[in-house]
Amino acid sequence: MEAVLEQIEEWVRNMLIEGIMEHLTGVFDSMNTEVGEVTNIVGQTPASFMPSVYNLIRNLSENVIMPVAGIILTFIACYELIQLVISHNNLANFETWIFFKWVLKTFVAVTLITNTFTITMAVFDVAKWIIDQSGGIIAASTAIDASALAGMQSTLEAMETGELFSVFLQTFVLQFLVRVAAIFIYIIVNGRMVEIYLTISLAPIPFSTFGNQEQSQIGQNYFRSVCALGFQGFLIMVCVGIYAVLIQSIAFSSDIMGSLWKAFGFTVLLGFTLLKTGSIAKSIVHAH
């Protein structure tokens, strides 16, 4: 009878160990896959991330928003001409050079609005170069070493059945929480690209305000916002680099659950810091 009970206990232990290892593999794969996706996405420009969406946004901007921006530019150009004419004591000191000044300012404004996408994409090209360069410096691996699983299995085999059941329940919950955290990180990173598309879709309108000193604050703030979105990718890479250092500092084989919950905490911290990168980038360039 004792032999039968021992066999049943051994079968339960093996089943629990197998289930725990499946949970651990799922946890590791979710963490590694999502962090790898982060570095892939932030290193892409809007044109290369989703070319079809980019072409749609560009067509909408050039065919729908550009005429509206042209009307705004015309209004601002007329307003600027009136301001230049009446600025010299209501025509008491009239000078013809103000017309050349107006023509030059209008020419610059028209040039800016007709090259809106070239200018905005140049910002993201520069940001991509910075991100690519930072990727070479942030050389630490962000992946949790799969060889740690072998050490964990040997630790599990030395545990009692009750301890294995407790670890099984914790890893089941942890696997679910890690997947939720992975979805959260996915939404943050891809949400940045969606925000970029939404921002550049209306680019001609703020660019049309550069012809007037008072209204140009709109265009300047917009350009700062575009720069913030571009350099947010660099901050995301910094967050990934910090995450890599923290993950590599965990010894997974000594205390399994303590190490796993610690790794989960670092993953949640990564998601929180990624969420803050947008506001940090805007505060640095003083964008509203």
93-115 b/e (C-beta count within 10 Å ≥ 16 → b)? eeeeeeeeebeebbeebeebbee
126-187-25 Cα angle (round to 5) = 110
State the pLDDT at residue 228.
93
State the pLDDT at residue 229.
92
Single-letter amino acid code for the residue at 276: K
What confidence tens digit (pLDDT) does each residue in 143-195 have? Answer: 555 566 666 767 777 777 777 777 778 778 777 877 887 788 888 888 899 99
State the pLDDT at residue 226.
92
Residue 140 has pLDDT above 60, yes or no: no
State the pLDDT at residue 194.
92
The helix (H) or strand (E) run that includes residue 281 is helix 256-285
Distance CA 58, CA 139 (A): 35
For residues 53-70, give the mean pLDDT.
91
